[in-house]
Amino acid sequence: MWMWGGLLAEALYDLGAEVDGIDAAGPGIEVARIHAEREDKQINYATAQAEDFCIDKEGYYDVVTCLEVLEHVPSPASLVGACSKMLKKNGLLFLSTINRNPRSWITAIVGAEYIFSILPKGTHEFEKFIKPLSLVNIWKMLQ
């Protein structure tokens, strides 16, 4: 999961949460780890796939977030399943992803990647964007 430098992890830590942050790509974790150390924040960061990380953390967390990641992975259902396994009973899972519609194609791909160059070209694939009902169906399938 992309950490984006640990922005959410640090905000949750500042609110008193015990935080673990994982990312499948090492560079994002390194940036987050360095920043947390400079700010003297005790956040555990790991480079890991959620599907592997959840093995030792089943039923461990009150809250799990998976934000703007599902559209980048080969199997969104596998990732959602791994995230849900890490939750305590009655825990909260927060998911966000890009909707697969023309507006998202214009803003996330044409705008962010090609016009404004906010993201590298090829960051997103329109076919991997997920419609809300598809995400609901993934969740229902896992229950």
Q: Check: CB of residue 78 under 8 Å from CB of residue 106.
A: no
- Hey, what are 16's tokens? 């008193």
Angle CA(79)–CA(31)–CA(65) in degrees, nearest 5?
30
pLDDT(2) > 90: no
Q: How confident is the model at residue 1, as a pLDDT?
A: 39
pLDDT exceeds cutoff 90 at 4: no
Domain boundaries, the chain: 1-48, 58-143
> Binning pLDDT at 50, 70 and 90, where does residue 138 land?
very high
Q: Rounded mean pLDDT of the chain?
A: 94
**Lowest mean pLDDT across 28-37, 49-58, 66-75:** 28-37
Residue corresponding to tokens 């790991």: 46
Q: Averaged over 91-96, what is the pLDDT? A: 97
d(CA 32, CA 1): 12
- Whether the predicted pLDDT of 131 surpasses 70: yes
Q: What is the pTM of this model?
A: 0.91
CB atoms within 10 A of CB 11: 11
Q: Is the pLDDT of residue 66 over 90?
A: yes
